[in-house]
Amino acid sequence: MHHEVQHDGAGRRNSHQAPYLDRLDELTAAAVRLGALLDCLLANAEQMRRELAAGRRIYDIVSGVSDEPSRSFRRDLHGAIRQFERAMQTTRGQSLRILLEGGGLTVTEVARAVNLSIPMVKRLIATADRTEPETDA
């Protein structure tokens, strides 16, 4: 989803708002996807505990870990984690870009303000240039 560019109180264009909102949308979508998969993981773990408590052999429970649904779930979970990490990185990069360009700070000042190295700040800001979200669907 792309957002309209808003104007500040003085009528000037706020060119940082729309890209930041786009990054927040990506982060939200990634968090929702990851959250749903983690909820499934928690439900599965609780089911395994109940089965063990009911006397089912542990071998019978863990032997299913290599079946296709389990492998597919692990692939989906890994992809969701990667998507979330990328969304966090690009959102942080956009935040640093706002400090740099909108706040009039130098890269060194931004690095000091967020307690990161200058090369790390530059790498994170570069991630904000990405226009399309990456997915592992």
What's this model's pTM, rounded to 2 decimal places?
A: 0.77
Q: What is the pLDDT of residues 53-90, one digit of tens each?
A: 999 999 988 887 778 888 899 999 999 999 999 999 99
Nearest in space to 96 (alpha carbons), one of 70, 126, 54, 135? 126
Partnered with residue 13 across adjacent β-strands are 7
Average pLDDT, the chain: 86
> Who has greater pLDDT, 28 or 63?
28
> Who has greater pLDDT, 117 or 9?
117
Give pLDDT, residue 1.
53
Q: What is the pLDDT of residues 2-13, one digit of tens each?
A: 454 454 554 444
Domain boundaries, the chain: 15-127
Partnered with residue 14 across adjacent β-strands are 6
**Percent of the chain scoring above 90 in pLDDT:** 66
**Does residue 137 carry a pLDDT above 70?**
no
Q: What is the pLDDT of residues 85-103, one digit of tens each?
A: 999 999 999 999 999 988 8
Q: Given the structure tokens 């649904």, which residue do they identify?
A: 69
- The DSSP-derived string for the chain is ---PPEE-TTS-EETTHHHHHHHHHHHHHHHHHHHHHHHHHHHHHHHHHHHHHTT--HHHHHGGGGSHHHHHHHHHHHHHHHHHHHHHHHHHHHHHHIIIIIS---HHHHHHHHT--HHHHHHHHHHTT--S-----
Q: Could you tell me if 124 and 87 are in contact, meaning their C-beta atoms sit under 8 angstroms apart?
A: no
Give phi and psi for 108, each to the nearest 5.
Answer: -60, -45
Measured distance CA(74)–CA(107) in Å, rounded: 39
